[in-house]
A = this chain, B = another copy of it.
């Protein structure tokens, strides 16, 4: 079954706009109306900027008008500090651009996800490593006063922990804290294994219903919160249905190489295909995740990079090295 059908049949989310775009374009690399794409090649990163420009783009992409920047950093796996520093810097630059914050802006960081399940703990770990400044000027590291923006932060937990929709909690807090900007950090589901841990997406559209890894139904965006929302996401898992589908696709492509087999391929019943998948995932359906064994260090490393980039872009008055010291 082709991937788009699979995603629909198994109710699998593709969280990265860049992947949704690739899928839509297909092998033919068709232009998608209402959507623009630009690529920039940096030393340790490829930056892809997708803009959904109008209602037609919204229909095609199934997500709101806005800018979706993906920073691909395959070398995140190398465990090389100098490269991590470069990645952090690149992410900070892109964030700064996308946020275009006034100097006196106040910011609420929201770490989405479940701290009890490592693959879903990215958001809470970024929060833990972030410098919170809103409540103090007496407590602020003294040499930093005057260089910091006002930052508050919360990891609200997930529905299964609190019994409350995460969006409800955030809305309630935003109404009292009244930040100029909310930045929501979340673990995503990838559409391909290469992107796990290596594709950081930032967007100015918030988090839409249906996105995210599972149970976050209500939107977290300007419309629901009344202030701008930047979302930062990184895939940490992939739905197992995709791996199953990829195998079947590859096998069928293999069969296609001879004309008689191609005939066969065409006759092959797509419904059978779906049944094979269902059986392969049994007794699970769309709630089975693929994740690398080293998920704990992957989350640790990427949470550090994201928290570092947040610090650099939110508090430009302090150096990267200084910020490093204040991270927990």
Give residues in A with beta carbon < 8 Å to B: 78-82, 84-85, 114, 116-119, 132-136, 139-144, 150-154, 156-157, 159-165, 168-169, 171-177, 193-194, 213-214, 240, 243-248, 250-252, 254-255, 261, 264, 268, 272-273, 276-277, 279-284, 287-297, 300, 321-322, 324-326, 328
Contacts and interface: CB of A to CB of B under 8 A. Distances in A.
B114 A296 contact: yes
Task: Please list the 6 inter-chain residue pairs (A to B) with the smallest Cβ-Cβ separation, ordered nearest first.
Answer: A172-B172, A134-B163, A152-B163, A116-B296, A132-B163, A168-B176
Contacts of A139: 79, 160
Contact of A118 (B116, B159, B174): B116
A114 to B, nearest CB: 6
28 contacts: A79-B140, A80-B142, A81-B141, A81-B322, A81-B326, A82-B143, A84-B325, A132-B162, A135-B162, A135-B164, A153-B162, A154-B156, A154-B169, A160-B297, A168-B177, A171-B176, A172-B172, A172-B176, A193-B288, A243-B280, A247-B280, A251-B273, A254-B272, A254-B276, A284-B292, A287-B292, A289-B293, A291-B291
Contact of A81 (B134, B143, B150): B143
A270 to B, nearest CB: 12
Given A154-B164, A214-B293, A246-B279, 20 more contacts: A78-B142, A80-B141, A80-B142, A80-B143, A81-B322, A81-B326, A114-B296, A116-B296, A135-B160, A135-B163, A135-B164, A152-B162, A153-B161, A172-B173, A193-B281, A247-B248, A247-B277, A250-B280, A251-B273, A288-B291
Number of copies of this chain that the complex holds: 4
B169 A284 contact: no
A132 B165 CA distance: 13
A261 B292 CA distance: 36
B193 A283 contact: yes
Contacts of A153: 161-163
A133 B280 CA distance: 33
A142 B79 contact: yes
A185 to B, nearest CB: 15
B250 A283 contact: no
B290 A289 contact: yes
Contacts of A287: 292-294
Contacts of A322: 81
A130 to B, nearest CB: 10
A192 B229 CA distance: 42
Nearest to A129: B328
A10 to B, nearest CB: 13
Contacts of A296: 114, 116-117
A169 B132 CA distance: 15
B284 A193 contact: yes
Contacts of A281: 193, 243
Contacts of A321: 321, 324
Given A132-B161, A194-B283, A171 B169 contact: no
B172 A175 contact: yes
A162 B154 contact: yes
